[in-house]
Amino acid sequence: MANLKAIRKRISSVKSTQKITRAQKMVAGARLTRAQHRIQALRPYAVKTGQVLAEIAGSGPDEHEGSTTDSGHPLLARRAEKTVLLLVITSDRGLCGAFNTNILRAASKIWHEREAAGQAVKIVVIGRKGRDFFRRRNAPVLEVLAGVWEKLDIEQARNIARKVLTPFVSGEADSIYVVYNEFKSAMSQRVATEPLFPLQKAAPPSDAQAKEASASPDASADDVIQQREYLFEPDRKVLLERLIPMYIEVSILRALYESQASELGSRMTAMESATKKAAEMIGKYTLIYNRARQAAITTELMEIIGGAEALRE
């Protein structure tokens, strides 16, 4: 017969856990709403900034591997990828489902694939979960950025940009990739690996896009592509000097916002699932407790009846 006291303690313990998971879900849900509004406001701006910079940077003379553009800006240099820098964004805390597991698995895969291809890899980690993961595996961690999630703003993104760009400017790294979770919804997040530098060349528009963008509905795609010539004021070099820092900061800030929203969404989903599981366990143990209690009562009654019958005899 099950121990009634142990079952009662178990039910009480699960109820306490359920209160915690329910509170965690409510807090994550409240913070997710703000984070979602913030990323939805920033995302179009970040995407457009990258597109404008790519088109301005690509409008000059053709770039050759190992050289810089005519602007002479060191951040526009294109070199053979002998050393790759990965900026991996994880969380400081757990209880967020597969959020950290997915991002660390993806980053680890890139790390091993790049090394197998003969490239050197350096890793800059944001978040304690990523720090602990890579330290246990003796990964080539260049730097761990702590305290990022305590105050998330453009100044924080600027500090991170300085850390990751220093190896690129000095030639210690030939490219920079950001690995983070892109927010889709509270139930869905996608691991994204996006190049930060060197800049990706702007893709020419398709025939359909070119015709749609044309002022005349009868214009051909070639006519529109030829019209993609730019006049710069004050000049291209000054624009690049202003746009490049803006692109870096906004891109990193967007990745941080995406990651934060994804973490909160994953935590809310995980805590909701944990709360439901706790309710199922409470129901299960309550049923076991009632059956054990009924069995104990039945046993006591049988003993009383048996004793009474013995006295009659």
Is position 199 annotated as part of the catalytic site?
A: no
Of the listed 77, 96, 103, 126, which one is catalytic? Answer: 96
Helix 99-116, helix 236-312: angle, nearest 10: 130
Tokens of 188: 């869905």
Angle at 38 between CA 26 and CA 153, to 5 degrees: 105
Residue 194 pairs in a beta bridge with 178
Residue 145 is inside which H or E element, if any?
strand 141-145
Tokens of 281: 């366990």
Task: Count other C-beta atoms under 10 Å from residue 273's C-beta.
Answer: 13
Q: In this structure, what DSSP letter does residue 67 have? A: B
Residue 175 pairs in a beta bridge with 84
Tokens of 271: 């805590």
Q: How many CA atoms lie within 13 A of 86 on its CB side?
A: 30
**Residue of 256, 259, 255, 277 whose CA lies nearest to 267:** 259
Query: Which amino acids are annotated catalytic?
Result: 96
